[in-house]
């Protein structure tokens, strides 16, 4: 980590960007279970909170998180009677409280500095929710999905995560679907690529897997659709939807009613809604 004395000598813009990078490094190290110096982190936030070039609102937020890290350095909680004003109730003297303080500080600082943030830059939750547990997954035999030419690795990863959550037996990916092992897909899948069986397949290979239906506009509303006990739902690409070949192969079309002006949803979001409805229908039976 950069010495605070060195950080204080840098130009304001360079110091703020370097501080944001340092906060990210501290958070990643703590998440990985490495030794954590809460005193250093608190002093770093104190340096930032004294920066007159930052907005008063940000400096107040940084001071709040600094007070939590200072308490953590002392081994105390932020809910003790003598906790300083502004400390967040419920903070604990442990990794969770420190991670939350570091995350807020670097995100608030990044937002003010207009540093870009993409979905694949987000870190997993600081506990075992992001870790695959072999043998713990309950799938619904017969629930399958065909991802047809999804271009976004983020959407592919999100589809894997939803497939795991709702017990999809297997995912089939078209030849031109984004790679589920792409770093961005792995990030959004949160380990689900290791849990949900998957393979590359063509539309012709859906034969014999049960009723084929497609998630597309202009179909039966999702709350009226008769979901099959065994079948494959086709999820089309983000830009073009399901291909004419997929629509021709599907025996039915199901749609999510829309009430806004856009008339569409992100492919990953729509897929999660569909799987919830399908699994719920099976559970009711």
| Per-domain boundaries in the chain | 4-117, 132-284
Instruction: Name, in order, each residue with C-beta under 8 angstroms of 26's C-beta and a sequence gap of 6 or more.
Output: 1, 36, 40, 41, 44, 102
Q: Is the pLDDT at 139 greater than 70, yes or no? A: no
Mean pLDDT of all residues in 268-280: 96
Angle at 103 between CA 102 and CA 109, to 5 degrees: 90
Answer whether 0.85 is exceeded by the pTM: no
**Does residue 124 have a pLDDT over 70?**
no
Q: Any residues with CB less than 8 A from the CB of 69 and at least 6 apart, and which?
A: 38, 41, 42, 45, 98, 101, 102
Residue 147: Cβ-neighbour burial (10 angstroms; 0-12, 13-18, 19+):
buried
Q: What's the rounded mean pLDDT across residues 132-137?
A: 59
Matching CATH number, 132-284, of 3.30.342.10, 2.30.42.10, 3.40.718.10, 3.40.1280.10: 3.40.1280.10
Per-residue pLDDT tens over the stretch 149-205: 999 999 999 999 999 999 999 999 999 999 999 988 998 898 899 999 999 999 999
């Amino acid at each position: 980590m950069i010495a605070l004395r060195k950080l204080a000598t840098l130009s304001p813009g360079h110091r703020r960007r370097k501080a944001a990078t340092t906060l990210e490094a501290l958070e990643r190290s703590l998440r990985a279970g490495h030794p954590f110096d809460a005193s250093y982190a608190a002093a770093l936030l104190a340096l930032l909170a004294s920066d007159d070039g930052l907005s008063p609102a940000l400096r107040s937020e940084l001071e709040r998180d600094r007070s939590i890290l200072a308490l953590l350095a002392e081994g105390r909680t932020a809910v003790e009677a003598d906790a300083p004003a502004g400390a967040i109730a419920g903070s604990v003297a442990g990794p969770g409280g420190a991670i939350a303080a570091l995350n807020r500080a670097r995100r608030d600082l990044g937002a003010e500095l207009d540093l870009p943030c993409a979905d694949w830059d987000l870190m997993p939750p600081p506990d075992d929710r992001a870790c695959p547990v072999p043998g713990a997954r309950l799938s619904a035999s017969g629930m399958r999905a065909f991802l047809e030419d999804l271009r976004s690795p983020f959407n592919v990863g999100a589809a894997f995560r939803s497939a795991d959550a709702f017990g999809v037996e297997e995912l089939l990916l078209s030849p031109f679907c984004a790679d589920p092992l792409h770093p961005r897909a792995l990030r959004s899948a949160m380990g689900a690529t290791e849990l949900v069986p998957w393979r590359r397949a063509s539309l012709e290979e859906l034969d014999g897997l049960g009723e084929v239906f497609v998630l597309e506009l202009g179909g039966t509303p999702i709350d009226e659709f008769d979901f099959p006990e065994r079948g494959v739902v086709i999820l089309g690409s983000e830009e073009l939807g399901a291909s004419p070949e997929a629509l021709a192969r599907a025996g039915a079309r199901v749609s999510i009613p829309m009430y806004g002006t856009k008339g569409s949803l992100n492919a990953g979001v729509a897929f999660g809604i569909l799987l919830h409805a399908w699994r719920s229908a099976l559970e009711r039976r």
